[in-house]
Structure 1
Amino acid sequence: MSDIRITKVTANIGARVSGVDISRPLDEESVAAVREALNVHKALVFDDVNLDDEGHQAFVRHFGDLTTAHPTVGAVEGSPNVLPVDSERGRANHWHTDVTFVLNPPQATTLRSITVPPYGGETLIASSAAAYRDLPEPLRRLADGLWAEHTNDYDYAVPNEAFDEEQAAQRAQFTSIKYRTAHPVVRVHPLTGERGLFIGGFAQRIVGLSVGESRKILDLLQSYVIRPENVLRHHWSPNQLVIFDNRITQHYAVDNYDGQPRRLHRVTLAGDVPVGVDGGRSRSVEGDAAHYTPVAAAVPAAAAREAATVAA
């Protein structure tokens, strides 16, 4: 195994990984060490990576099956599993967890820097596990029993002002297949057993409540996710790769670079169906995402308990 070193970045989220060349095939011990670090720190930063799209995908495949680029948005030409996150195609300056409008959202997201603006363009990544721990006990009890409906029936990457023709076309593509899925507001992580707030920008309504009532509750819970203490502010440099656990984080791309070019490439890992505190599993209301992602195998209870012990 390589001499992998994990350097913590903040108290609640984030670590830098060094001592491993992720452009080469990893042995089982190295894969386990990176997975354990992701369980503990939720987001990992690799500097000076020597990767193209093929190498990026090969690294991610160490941890499971890949999704295609996106359920409705086009991939990088010739690479159906790679999504271009390009400022020219819109800006995701909205807190969200990737693709939560499908039944089994990605378990993890990786982003690789292609073009970095000379200033700005950071990615904020928040720990929803730390947010859940911060909740007062009455709010925890409330959140534990709630379910939220997530949908893609709007485009988080398009600003809220009136759409121009290009933005209207982007929105039409993003919603070309309508998805609605009911997820637990508190998700139990399948490996660590941690509880995290599973909400974000695609969560539009609490099941059983009106839109107005839902918004108040979602905004209250979201305020704990985005507390500065729970957020890693990642400043991009050339040739970096960041991986974050999509099951227990949210992220936000900061639009503060004066419209200069900014491009990342995204590869995501197929995920499992979320499970709530009571053992209930998410359910699809509308839309079939079978073309986008396989369902990751459920983790046996004994393995989950073992992983939770390692991560503790």
Structure 2
Amino acid sequence: MKLKSWVRFAAPVVAALSVAVLAQPAEAASRIGWRPTVLPLPPGGSSGFLTGSDGKGEYTGTFTLNGRQSVVSWRNGQPVLRGVPSGYEAALAEDENPSGVVVGTAHDYDTMISRAYTLDATGFHVKDVPAGYDYVYGVAINTRGDVLGRAMVFGGGLATDAAVLWRAEGGAPVIIPATRDMYYAHDLDEDGTILFDSDSNPVLWKDGAVRRLSPSPSIQGWGLAIRNGVVVGTRIYGGVEQAVRWASPDAAAVGLAGGARALSVNQVGLTTGLVPNPSGPVIVGNAIAWRATTPGEVRAPGGYSTFEASVAADDGSLAGFATNGSRDSGGVPVVWRLTP
């Protein structure tokens, strides 16, 4: 259900990829269009990212307020400061479920402590770091309230990293040590399935059983989001990065026309992502969306050159940011809705 972490989309993928211009079918794009609304920032607010929605009109993300990274939600189009857990210097929001529960990571930079948290109507609830680990990031939350995290050891490397699953019904967290087949947990499905990166195609874990998604004609694929069994992400195809969709674990990977990377998928298969960048130092361009595999146009907010929609909400809207600077710093909050 989610995407961003403290170090935005990580890592291993970005350095290795190249781009080409993939044409977006103009006829399909003209039929489906999402219109932007730039949301107001709270007093003292600057750039950030929208990273979650309850699918009922609330949008949540991380924005810098007076120099401090804080959780902010928008309700009825107006910002509500959710803040930072007591004793921490910063809080990053990663995901939000239909009940309005937010999951993310709280940081204390002086002590180098990072802890996963949930945030609900009663406030922040910081989770304990599993025994044997130094810190843990919050990654995703599903509808029933299961929470996914990533636990790490300072300087430990792959062998000492793990995914952590806190089940909604309680009990001890489930620890899933990293291996070459499951080394980076990206997202959590409604039934508790975890989407992992591997040394080739994405891998699904559920209750100890592991399934690798069907191979595709590519060097490597990455799944970035999962919802109701549908996985979206990116792959190397013909030497370039291409957005891709797996309709089920047994289905063949299908390229998403006009896209370089698919970032989020909602409960009915609406997907948002990024187009290729035809030139310049970055490898992806602005936002695009698909209904299943049919592409549509995500329109630019007036006055902004760069815009990213990283959330496909259950009400059919998209959420993200727009900026005229570096996309790594985020920008102003933007919500897109289908044109009447």
For Structure 1 versus Structure 2, the TM-score category normalised by the shorter chain is under 0.3
TM-score, normalization: structure 2?
Answer: 0.26
The structure, 1 or 2, with the larger RCO (C-alpha pairs under 8 Å, 6+ apart) is 1
TM-score, normalization: structure 1?
Answer: 0.27
> Larger strand proportion, structure 1 or 2?
2
